Structure 1
């Protein structure tokens, strides 16, 4: 079984999910932001799950690193329905409605110039936010920024995606997806494989952005894999630390919810 790594960079730690180490490289030390805890900051879990009534995803992609769009070959459903269904489920049964908007076509996303990089530092990734992010958030609406790029993270080569949150001045969490790493899940074995891997990755990172696991949304039960930071100990959960070939192979877009019951219970019982 081959494991592909997922990664989150949060306001309190840098977690290399490939090696299981939880370290803070010197290049990232400058991004620990105390403002994440300031009560006037709308970009935190306690706001997402109390006053926010709309959430949308702003997606940008480097030339030749565009997200997969259209329909799955086998299931026939829209590829981005996976992310949309999971976000809809996150805000279900709360006693109020949250309008979730997920783009599903490249015409709804923004192409940015090719950056001609094979490796990225955190500084270089964050430069893209100030240049290309168009939306912001407040106490009623939240917009997460997802950026697809070529290359890989210099300090953690081989990871699939990274979420940066709680950084002074960048607003809501930002997700960077490394297209070269996604394409390692090629479709030679079966159709839709790489598309499924990409959607599972995006949904996993959105889970981190919202506050899973124990990164803003408190635990309802003991299921945090502390060895791998803010990830779920349930190997079948979409918030498990790694994405395996077999897990992608068995995922069915017709049953698109990837979060395990433990994580869903965390969300359902979180009422800040």
Structure 2
């Protein structure tokens, strides 16, 4: 092979390598593209992961309060086996200014914005607090939060704030805390969605929810139908004994 041909071949190899690297970096982290509940055991137990990082991304003007995050940490600390602790990584992102977001919109935002992923002995979860409502809202019911992948949750904070904090309404901190913890319950596989039931308690007509109306995992908790039930409460509803038994059997405390 002469020098001219060798130089051309080297250039082609460099170009091909660069193109492959660019393609790789453009791909989403595949560990986050699994169904809700698929990583429940890893979140609950210390078998594979001893610590938890929770990335909190919020759109400008919709930052969750320290009270909401403290309540979430307290809730998780009582049920997760994470001896190395739970850490929050919080950062602001530019508001999109959209009236509503679909699940596809939210997934696309996460792929661009998310920075924390599971590695070594640390598992990562992701929240995005949005400046709009959900595309599947109706005139009679507003969705307050969704869990949409194995480690990913969205909170429709603008909707929450519009339905809380006023006369005859629950406090914004209480409603935000309740929805945030409910969605994490889905990430942990509740109900019958990655974490098996010890005893039957799934409210089948309402999907992956508990049949106990007083439980955190009751179906109305993640939508506007639950607001009256929170009046007079100072903290979010608790998980009932059936949900707690399920989590413990799947590696939780």
Cα distance change on mapping 1:120 and 1:36 into 2, 3 Å: closer
1:141 and 2:127 matched: no
1:62 and 2:59 matched: yes
* Cα separation, 1, equivalents of 2:137 and 2:169: 29
Cα distance change on mapping 1:193 and 1:174 into 2, 3 Å: same
Q: Which structure: larger Rg? A: 2
* Cα separation, 2, equivalents of 1:137 and 1:164: 17
RMSD over aligned CA atoms reads 2.6
CA contact (8 A) 1:91 1:98 kept: no
Is the partner of 1:266 in helix, strand or coil?
helix
1:165 and 2:176 matched: no
- Structure 2 residue aligned with 1:117: 98
Counterparts in 2 of 1:85-124, with a 5 A limit? 85-91=74-80, 97=83, 99-101=85-87, 103=88, 109-124=90-105
* Cα separation, 2, equivalents of 1:251 and 1:227: 27
1:220 and 2:220 matched: no
- Structure 2 residue aligned with 1:22: none
Unaligned runs of 5+ in 1: 1-32, 38-42, 70-77, 167-172
Cα distance change on mapping 1:51 and 1:110 into 2, 3 Å: same
Cα distance change on mapping 1:216 and 1:139 into 2, 3 Å: farther
Is the partner of 1:162 in helix, strand or coil?
strand
Q: Deviations over 1:102-124 (max 9, x none)?
A: x4xxxx52111110100112221
Unaligned runs of 5+ in 2: 1-30
Counterparts in 2 of 1:48-87, with a 5 A limit? 48=43, 49=45, 50-69=47-66, 78-87=67-76
- Structure 2 residue aligned with 1:211: 189
CA contact (8 A) 2:68 2:176 kept: no
CA contact (8 A) 2:145 2:155 kept: yes
Is the partner of 1:208 in helix, strand or coil?
helix
- Structure 2 residue aligned with 1:131: 112
Number of residue equivalences:
211
Question: 2:219 pairs with 241, 247, 251, which one?
Answer: 241
1:45 and 2:26 matched: no
| TM norm structure 1 | 0.70
Of structures 1 and 2, the one scoring higher in RCO (CA 8 A, sep 6+) is 1
| TM norm structure 2 | 0.74
CA contact (8 A) 2:164 2:175 kept: no
Is the partner of 1:109 in helix, strand or coil?
strand
- Structure 2 residue aligned with 1:202: 180
Higher relative helix content: 2
Q: Deviations over 1:102-151 (max 9, x none)?
A: x4xxxx52111110100112221112112111110146221111001111
Cα distance change on mapping 1:174 and 1:188 into 2, 3 Å: same
- Structure 1 residue aligned with 2:242: 262
* Cα separation, 2, equivalents of 1:239 and 1:139: 31
